[in-house]
Structure 1
Amino acid sequence: MRAETAGITITGTAQREAWHSKVLPPVELVAAGVHSVPVVFPGNPMRYTLSYVLLDGDECVVVDPGFDSDEGHGQLIAALASLDVGPREITGIVATHFHTDHLGMAARLASGSGAWIALGNNERRHISAFEDAHEESALDQTRMRAWGVPEERVPEAAMTPESLLDMRRLADPDRRLGDNDILSVAGRNWRIMDTPGHTPGHICLWDDAGELVLSGDHVLPRISPNVSLEIRGDTDPLRRNIESLQKIAGNDHYEVCPAHEYRFRGVGHRARVLEEHITERSREVLAVLSAGASTVHDVARQLTWSRGWASLGQLQFRLALSETAAHIRYLATSGIHPGVPGLVAAP
Structure 2
Amino acid sequence: MTQVTDHRGGVWSISVPLPGNPLGHTLVHLLETGRGPVLIDTGWDDPASWDALTAGITACGFAVADIHGVLLTHHHPDHHGLSAAVREASGAWIAMHAADAEVVRRTRQARPAAWRAQLAARLAAAGAPEEHLAPLRTARGGELPGQRAAVPDRHIAPGELLDLPGRRLRAVWTPGHTPGHVCLHLEEAHPGRAPGARGDEVGAGFGRLFSGDHLLPGISPHIGVYEGPDEAPADPLGDYLASLERVARLDPAEVLPAHQHPFTDAAGRARALLAHHEARLGGLVRLLAEPLTLWQLTVAMEWNRPWERIPYASRTIAVAEAEAHLRRLMVLGRAAAVPGSNPVTYRAV
Normalization by structure 1: what TM-score?
Answer: 0.85
Q: Distance in 1 between matches of 2:29 and 2:238?
A: 29
Deviations 1:36-82 (A, max 9, x none): 00111111222210000112465011111111110011001111111
| Residue type at the aligned position of 1:108 | A
For residue 234 of structure 1, report the CA deviation from its aligned partner. Answer: 5.8
Q: Does 1:115 align with 2:114?
A: no
Q: Distance in 2 between matches of 1:148 and 1:234?
A: 18
For residue 342 of structure 1, report the CA deviation from its aligned partner. Answer: 5.4
Deviations 1:298-333 (A, max 9, x none): 011111112222221133212211100111111111
Match of 1:306 in 2: 304
Q: Does 1:146 align with 2:144?
A: no
Q: Distance in 1 between matches of 2:38 and 2:29?
A: 8
Deviations 1:137-167 (A, max 9, x none): 1121111111111110125689977676333
Moved more, 51-60 or 201-210: 51-60
Q: Does 1:43 align with 2:20?
A: yes
Match of 2:274 in 1: 275
Q: Distance in 2 between matches of 1:162 and 1:101?
A: 22
Q: Is the 8 Å Cα contact of residues 143 and 342 (structure 1) preserved in structure 2?
A: no
Q: Does 1:330 align with 2:328?
A: yes
Identity of aligned residues (%): 32
Q: Distance in 2 between matches of 1:99 and 1:229?
A: 13
Q: Is the 8 Å Cα contact of residues 53 and 62 (structure 1) preserved in structure 2?
A: yes
Using a 3 Å threshold, how does the CA distance of structure 1 residues 114 and 130 change in structure 2: closer, same or farther? closer
Using a 3 Å threshold, how does the CA distance of structure 1 residues 238 and 63 change in structure 2: closer, same or farther? same
Q: Secondary structure at the match of 2:335?
A: coil
Match of 1:70 in 2: 47
Using a 3 Å threshold, how does the CA distance of structure 1 residues 161 and 52 change in structure 2: closer, same or farther? farther
Q: Distance in 1 between matches of 2:22 and 2:238?
A: 26
Q: Distance in 1 between matches of 2:321 and 2:142?
A: 19
Aligned positions of 1:73-88 closer than 5 A: 73-88=50-65
Q: Distance in 2 between matches of 1:307 and 1:186?
A: 47
Q: Secondary structure at the match of 1:93?
A: strand
Moved more, 79-88 or 322-331: 79-88
Q: Is the 8 Å Cα contact of residues 33 and 167 (structure 2) preserved in structure 1?
A: no
Identify unmatched segments of 5+ residues in structure 2. 190-206
Using a 3 Å threshold, how does the CA distance of structure 1 residues 184 and 287 change in structure 2: closer, same or farther? same
> How many residues are paired up?
319
Using a 3 Å threshold, how does the CA distance of structure 1 residues 72 and 234 change in structure 2: closer, same or farther? farther
Deviations 1:258-288 (A, max 9, x none): 0011100011111111111111111111111
Q: Does 1:128 align with 2:107?
A: yes
Identify unmatched segments of 5+ residues in structure 1. 1-23
Match of 1:12 in 2: none
Runs of 4+ in 1 over 4 A off after TM superposition: 155-164, 340-343
Match of 1:182 in 2: 161
Q: Distance in 2 between matches of 1:209 and 1:148?
A: 51
Using a 3 Å threshold, how does the CA distance of structure 1 residues 143 and 158 change in structure 2: closer, same or farther? farther
Q: Does 1:291 align with 2:290?
A: yes
Q: Secondary structure at the match of 1:166?
A: coil
Using a 3 Å threshold, how does the CA distance of structure 1 residues 251 and 162 change in structure 2: closer, same or farther? farther
Q: Distance in 2 between matches of 1:39 and 1:160?
A: 31
Identify the match of residue 223 of structure 1 among 207, 219, 226: 219
